[in-house]
Structure 1
């Protein structure tokens, strides 16, 4: 079943640019699975917020969380390296990828229903508290639980294909063997005490080695949204994700 689901996800992402005539291109996604009974889900209420949802909140009888990371083509990330503001290409990629994640989840839900299984679609973004800026369902943290990657100093999920992309997740009552967390530290600073290039890349002094000011970060995201208001909600920045060693790679093949 794993192979079938991964084939569906990878095929959908591959065909999506032609299907929807997008400006954005994506590389092959990574997929991982978590057992809803994994104790790490309970810990998310301690790590993130007491209001963080559990898989069963979306689907009664849930058994598995399916997570996936969809990497941007390198040109998307490279376009966002220069300057203080996010590039238009990055802003467009954000909008189009969020839409693709929603479309993909609906597609997978339909395919699972054909097999006799139920599932729940979860929005790609903007399911967070507007004052605390904390999500009630963090796709990145759920993907960590599923073994898709580990967190960098920049608070982004670093997968074996880097951090420049988007994470999605959904819940199903299909039982799928969970992916093991491999225990590999993918952040060079956390693992070896070197790098901190993401701190240097932060354009609004929100990120430091020992702290993160999420409100200063979001201030910059809203500034970029004002630049690209015609595209939809583009509260993005991502300067700390581009031009760094973990943009496109995991620890095993980092320079």
Structure 2
């Protein structure tokens, strides 16, 4: 049953996303289960002409798209300008059951975590497609950049591995979070999350960014203390110097993905995420930082 509102304004789009995930048949941790994959989402918006997107060509990769570049790939004949676009981002938080199971693990992903990495991301993909269809049906041109045929992962740039559209960085632009020592996005709903995005031809107002810097909600960068994610990483890919992406990737591809296929799901899944649980930012902004005055 389609209970989605007709999305003509930001509140409708947020309601559309919430309604999709509130339908049990669309939010299952695995086929046939009654357990949800995700808790209720958090939604934010960035303007398409926000200068932060141009900065991502430096801070993510020179090949990273601006919202207008992504939109033009979906609509080659468009006359849209960046100022006419909005980037909608949403945070899908892991449930307490998933986080509880995963918190207990030391070297390998829990079954529930692997399920959300597989079926939960399939739900996220379906949500992207659903939101785009509903927007277009309401007369609002939209696309999900990571669902475009031109989207790709890229290597060899300044940060080793990147992509032509980073949903985490789009969510940061939309006021939804800042980055931690492990590169994960720390949001008001925590770091144990997945992210989805779309670009729409709609001059919707931006969600305020309640931070000045891109690492403001990380205890380590804010106070010089913590480093809990370093201790949680079984690959030794985290240190005070940051995230060793090749080492992280090698552990996932060589250890956790084969384990998930062999012992848990019968299919390889690039699941790890141990640095996202058992840490002060697991389910929210660290409490110690909420007591500090805002910068800027």
Is the TM-score greater than 0.5?
A: yes
Distance 1:206 1:171, change over 3 A: same
Q: Deviations over 1:122-175 (max 9, x none)?
A: 337x93126642222111011111111111112111110101110111111122
> What is the aligned counterpart of 1:112 among 135, 159, 167?
135
Are 1:66 and 2:94 an aligned pair?
A: no
TM alignment of 1:47-196, pairs within 5 A:
47-60=59-72, 61=80, 63-81=85-103, 82-123=105-146, 127-129=152-154, 132-183=160-211, 185-196=216-227
TM alignment of 1:13-24, pairs within 5 A:
13-15=21-23, 17-19=24-26, 21-23=28-30, 24=36
Q: Deviations over 1:155-211 (max 9, x none)?
A: 111110101110111111122101111116211111122211011111111110123
TM-score where L is the length of structure 1: 0.91
Find the residue that maps to 1:68 and give its secondary structure. Answer: strand
Alignment size in residue pairs = 253
C-alpha distance in 2, partners of 1:101/1:231? 21
Instruction: Please tell me whether the aligned partners of residues 87 and 198 of structure 2 are also in contact (alpha carbons under 8 angstroms).
Output: yes
Question: What does residue 294 of structure 2 align with?
Answer: none
Unaligned regions of 5+ residues in structure 2, if any?
A: 1-8, 31-35, 73-79, 291-296
Q: Which moved more, 1:19-28 or 1:111-120?
A: 19-28
Shift of 1:21: 4.6
Distance 1:20 1:80, change over 3 A: closer
TM alignment of 1:37-52, pairs within 5 A:
37-52=49-64
Distance 1:20 1:71, change over 3 A: closer
Cα RMSD, aligned residues only: 2.1
Instruction: Please tell me whether the aligned partners of residues 80 and 242 of structure 1 are also in contact (alpha carbons under 8 angstroms).
Output: yes
Instruction: Please tell me whether the aligned partners of residues 160 and 250 of structure 1 are also in contact (alpha carbons under 8 angstroms).
Output: yes
Which structure has the larger Rg?
A: 2
> What is the aligned counterpart of 2:43 among 31, 52, 55?
31
TM-score where L is the length of structure 2: 0.79
